[in-house]
Structure 1
Amino acid sequence: MFKILKYSFYDLMRSRWSYVYFLFYLALGFVLLFLNNDVSKAVITLMNVIIVLVPLIGTIFGVMYFYNSKEFTELLLALPIKRSSIFTGQYLGVAGSLTLSLVMGLGIPFIVYGLFRSNAIWDFTLLLVVGAFLTLIFTALSFNIALSNENKIKGFGYAVLLWLFFAVIYDGLFLLSLIIFEDYPLDKYSLVATMLNPVDLSRTLILLKLDISALMGYTGAVFKSFFGTRSGFFISIFMLILWTLIPLYNLIRKANKKDF
């Protein structure tokens, strides 16, 4: 598995798209810090970009890599190697390279602008951790989609639809349900609904860590009473871990049953 992971990682690190991804975050970090000259404000601005862009890139890269390396995967399947090792290695290689590009692309400009002397170091660390989780989650989901669809066009279509659902449609349905059932107590419902969407959960964690939950109104007070506590924070991280492990388990299960 580690040999396959190493090959997938180096293969993607040599790809021009990995450099584009890295340079985009590098330029974005320097531009934001140049305009704001304040690390804390730059972190708040970056949150909106990370929450939307990282899942999209993870989804597209995952589907693209799976289809482009299909012939190599079939060659590996003909060898006496466990299927779980093949697909886990490829998945970790893709997710690892994307995470490295994200961390280095944002880390370099913030370090140059004095991140370690700033009070925002923990906020920035949480931002990178959340970005890494979103990369792992949506790369795993994209691998599941690609494995379930032989047709590339369908695979790409479903992948984009998945990202659109979690990033946009889910929020619309969530707000609509809050309006329809506004006469009922919705505190617990709001918490559960937030944890069922990794994008919303990540956004809520960062907003509360940045102490700007007042922007969320009454809902912010409810979230702060739960996610703002130490136990709530660890439950949220546990949910992000589950969001990572369940698609990966499903990927291995599908791969073991699939007739290539």
Structure 2
Amino acid sequence: MNKVTKYVLYDIVRNRFVMGYTLLLAAVSFSFFSFDPDPNKGLLSLLNIILMVVPLVSIIFSTIHFYNSYEFIELLSAQPLSRQSIFLSEYIGVAASLSLAFLVGVGIPTMLFEGTERGIVLIISGLLLTLSFVSLAFLAAVITRDKAKGMGLALVIWFYFALVYDGLVLGILFSFSDYPLEKVMLFLTALNPTDLARIMVLMKMDISALMGFTGAVFQDFFSTNYGLIIALSVLMVWVVWPVALATHIFNKKDL
């Protein structure tokens, strides 16, 4: 870890917002597990919070941080440092700090109350979801220099993956209900990191019967080690490709 990454990481870890975010996640996690004796219900309630709050906080905080650090980035660019190393140092610092906040706020309570395979899959899914939306945030921020446009683009990305995409998929299901779409749904799921994380956790909770015939296909696929590895690999792609594209754009653009 170079000096730039350490500086960014230490600066964000001391940020009051990140501290409050960590405490909020911890309070919510402990409350869900403490108020209900059934750990499955606690996991399910926590999953709903993770799927909405974690991506939103990750993409908004990361976008704001990038724009607020733009003058610092310009200063570093005047030094004998490659643009790629500067950009990736910023990304690693932000991603590491938000990942640490998630692991402390959600990971510790989950392991204390439900340290089973289901809990571990929940933690890994939430962690990869955090990293993927940080990557998408950096991509949105590097596309435009205007902070308002960048924030708007980041919100559109979150809104699309959190709400709009599911509506589009439901429309496809209703429009082509006479055709076997179970395997097509596996492909469509891979196009949304939020849906992919949700289904990975739900399949480990053995509630696929509530999802009909499509749930049976998901259960057959995601319940196997092969399916789980494929799903985690796809989530890793959602982490890597946005930041790789953002790095390429940053290397080419005028600061």
Tell me the TM-score normalized by structure 2.
0.96
Q: Name 1:121's counterpart in structure 2.
A: 116
Asked if structure 1 preserves the Cα contact closer than 8 Å seen for 2:182 and 2:213, the reply is no
Contact 2:66/2:138 (8 A) holds in 1: yes
2:207 is the alignment partner of 1:212: yes
Matched, 1:101 2:101: yes
Please name the residue that 1:75 is paired with.
75
For 1:178 and 1:64, how far apart are their aligned partners in 2? Answer: 37
How far does residue 163 in structure 1 lie from its aligned partner after superposition? 0.3
- Which residue of structure 2 aligns with residue 14 of structure 1? 14
RMSD (Å) for aligned C-alpha atoms: 1.4
Aligned counterparts of 1:33 and 1:191: Cα–Cα separation in 2: 31
Partner residue of 1:39?
39
What is aligned with 2:65?
Answer: 65
Q: Structure 2 vs 1, CA of residues 73 and 33 (structure 1 numbering), >3 Å: closer, same or farther?
A: same
Contact 1:39–1:110 (8 Å) recurs in 2 = no
Q: Does 1:239 align with 2:234?
A: yes
Q: Distance in 1 between matches of 2:39 and 2:104?
A: 16
The alpha carbon displacement at 1:212 in A equals 1.1
Matched, 1:146 2:144: no
Distance 2:179 2:51 in 1: 30
Q: Partner of 1:150: helix, strand, or coil?
A: coil
What number of residue pairs does the alignment pair up? 255
Unaligned stretches of 5+ in structure 1?
A: none
Displacement after TM superposition at 1:121 (Å) = 2.4
Instruction: Flag the 1:237–1:4 CA change in 2: closer, same or farther, 3 A.
Output: same
DSSP-derived class of the 1:176 partner = helix
Kept after mapping to 1: 8 A contact 2:125/2:197:
yes
Which of 123-132 and 157-166 deviates more? 123-132
CA distance in 1, matches of 2:202, 2:37: 21
User: Residue 196 of structure 1 aligns with which residue?
Assistant: 191
Counterpart Cα distance in 2 of 1:78 and 1:39? 53
- Structure 2 CA distance for aligned equivalents of residues 255 and 157 of structure 1: 19
SS in 2 for 1:242: helix
In the TM superposition, residue 248 of structure 1 has moved relative to its aligned partner by 1.4
Amino acid at match of 2:202: L
- Tell me, yes or no, if the aligned pair for 1:26 and 1:106 is still in contact at 8 Å: yes
Instruction: Say whether the 8 Å CA contact 2:36–2:42 is kept in structure 1.
Output: yes
Q: After superposing the two structures, state which structure 1 stretch, 96-105 or 36-45, moved more.
A: 36-45
Q: Residue 158 of structure 2 corresponds to which residue in structure 1?
A: 163
Question: Could you tell me how far 1:106 is from its partner in structure 2?
Answer: 2.1
Q: 1:132 aligns with which of 114, 119, 127?
A: 127
Aligned sequence identity (%)? 44
Change (3 A) 1:235 1:17: same
Q: Is the Cα–Cα contact under 8 Å of residues 54 and 131 in structure 1 kept in the other structure? A: yes
Report how far residue 33 of structure 1 moved: 2.2
Q: Which runs of 4+ in 1 moved over 6 A?
A: none
Measure, in 2, the Cα distance between the counterparts of 1:74 and 1:241.
30
Q: Counterparts of 1:110 and 1:227 in 2: how far apart (Å)? A: 21
- Distance in 1 between the 2:39 and 2:97 partners? 26
Secondary structure class of the residue paired with 2:75 = helix
